[in-house]
Chain A
Amino acid sequence: NAGVTQTPKFRILKIGQSMTLQCTQDMNHNYMYWYRQDPGMGLKLIYYSVGAGITDKGEVPNGYNVSRSTTEDFPLRLELAAPSQTSVYFCASSRQGRLTGELFFGEGSRLTVL
């Protein structure tokens, strides 16, 4: 029962460093999402993908990049990390259909940029 798996769970970066947050799902969902959660701000959509080879920007894409080479994996890349990217990042997936709506979330990756 893996569902959505994110790694790493915690990471500390220095300003200017780069890293990739990994996300994989085993539910054969075609839709995948990356959100960031800041205190008192809810979840903001960074990028999403409706299938392998297709990605689109969400509300807050600046400073991030994504790729979707397979149905299972949707990594999020941070280039030149900045303190403003300190946040908790959640990956989610869903199987879109006539009755859409349920997002399955990973446990989150807590990133601190110093």
Chain B
Amino acid sequence: GQQLNQSPQSMFIQEGEDVSMNCTSSSIFNTWLWYKQDPGEGPVLLIALYKAGELTSNGRLTAQFGITRKDSFLNISASIPSDVGIYFCAGQSGNQFYFGTGTSLTVIP
């Protein structure tokens, strides 16, 4: 199957700091997605990217679809305690979505 490498695996940051995580793939994707998962729940979509080079913001979140279509990054500015959770990147190829292994974010008040 497709392999998405997501880094870092985990992050411990102080409240108010900015966060950056990224995802790379050996394959080209048509769509890049970023999801957040809270404990005991299913992932929820944060940002969807549909074109190479696209930069999209959603509040304090900003994500970019890499020019090569093989990578994407997610930035969170001015982190707050409710940002805690696991963040997943996902790439879409045809009818299938492939997920990264996740970045676990801990925000220290």
Contact = CB atoms under 8 A, between A and B. Distances in A.
Interface of A: 4, 31, 33, 35, 40-45, 48, 50, 56, 58-59, 90, 92, 96, 99-108
A62 to B, nearest CB: 13
In the complex, which range does the number of interface residues on chain B fall in? Answer: 20 to 34
B31 A101 contact: yes
A110 to B, nearest CB: 9
Contacts, number: 65
Interface of B: 1, 4, 6, 9, 30-31, 33, 35, 40-45, 48, 50, 88, 90, 92, 95-102
A31 B92 CA distance: 13
Contact of B41 (A42, A50, A107): A107
Contacts of A43: 43, 88, 99
B88 A100 contact: no
Nearest to B4: A42
11 contacts: A35-B99, A40-B101, A44-B99, A99-B50, A101-B31, A101-B33, A101-B48, A102-B33, A102-B48, A103-B45, A106-B42
